[in-house]
Amino acid sequence: MDDGTTTQQLLSWLARSLKSRRKQPFFAFVSYQASHFPYEQGLQIPALFKPDQLNDDQRAQLTFFFYPRDLSAIMLNRYRNSLAYTDAQIARVLQFLKNGGLLQNTVVVIFGDHGELFYENGHVTHASGLYDAELRVTFTIWGAPGLRGILFCTSEFGRSSANGAVAGKDAALRRVPRICAPWPGQPRYPGCE
């Protein structure tokens, strides 16, 4: 299912649920899939990173644990485009909450479930080992009065699901005050401010 459809279902549920119980707390969880192999973004979405298209012969060579090295740049661009698409979906949810007067009293947690490899350490995707690029993902907690924005910037942009949004690349979170710190004992990543 396309992440845009997932977002629309979430927004519809929120609208129905909050209409009847506006002052009551709620919990919602969404799992976006665009940034998972083979990194498909929504239809009719312009690609920010190119080349990103696969022909039928190239597509036939893809498996979760292998694709030819010469497709690495295309696959990385597809991944980055899927992250940008996921960022746009997160922005839709945040804008809905803001427009409904709910964002200022909502705790938002955004995290990546894993990173990806593009032939670093000789592997692709994830689940082939325990490498930093697979394990070091972004984790963000933001919201509610008195809770200061927190950003654990533990991977470079384009290396963890949902990372673009939480790294402040999307307008909905750009003005959020944040702390940018790696996991304890790890160096700060360049550009993580």
Per-residue pLDDT of the chain (193 residues; tens, 9 = 90+): 889 999 999 999 999 988 887 778 889 999 999 989 999 876 667 789 999 999 999 999 999 999 999 999 999 999 999 988 888 899 999 999 999 888 888 889 988 888 899 998 899 999 888 888 888 887 788 875 666 555 554 444 434 444 333 333 333 333 333 334 444 444 443 444 4
| pTM across the whole model | 0.75
- CA-CA distance, 92 to 89, in Å (whole number)? 5
pLDDT of res. 24: 83
Q: Do the bridges between strand 139-143 and strand 107-111 make them parallel or antiparallel, or are there none, so unpaired?
A: antiparallel
- CA-CA distance, 78 to 58, in Å (whole number)? 13
Quickly tell me which residue has 């506006």 as its tokens.
Answer: 22
- Return the amino acid letter for 76: L
Radius of gyration of the chain (CA): 18
**What does 70-102 look like in DSSP terms, one character per residue?**
GGHHHHHHHHHHHHHHHHHHHHHHHHHHHHTT-
Assess contact for 79 and 138: CB atoms under 8 A: no
pLDDT of res. 84: 87
pLDDT of res. 20: 81
pLDDT of res. 145: 60
- CA-CA distance, 166 to 139, in Å (whole number)? 8
Other C-beta atoms within 10 Å of 155: how many? Answer: 23
Quickly tell me which residue has 């933001």 as its tokens.
Answer: 142
- CA-CA distance, 136 to 188, in Å (whole number)? 12
Name residues whose C-beta falls within 8 Å of residue 138's C-beta, 6 or more positions apart in sequence.
110, 111, 112, 151, 152, 153, 154, 155, 160, 162, 163, 166, 167
The DSSP symbol for 47 reads P
- CA-CA distance, 47 to 85, in Å (whole number)? 9
- CA-CA distance, 90 to 3, in Å (whole number)? 10
Helix extents (H) in the chain: 3-20, 56-60, 72-99, 132-135, 163-166, 171-174
pLDDT of res. 36: 92
Residue 139, both tokens: 């984790």
- CA-CA distance, 153 to 165, in Å (whole number)? 12
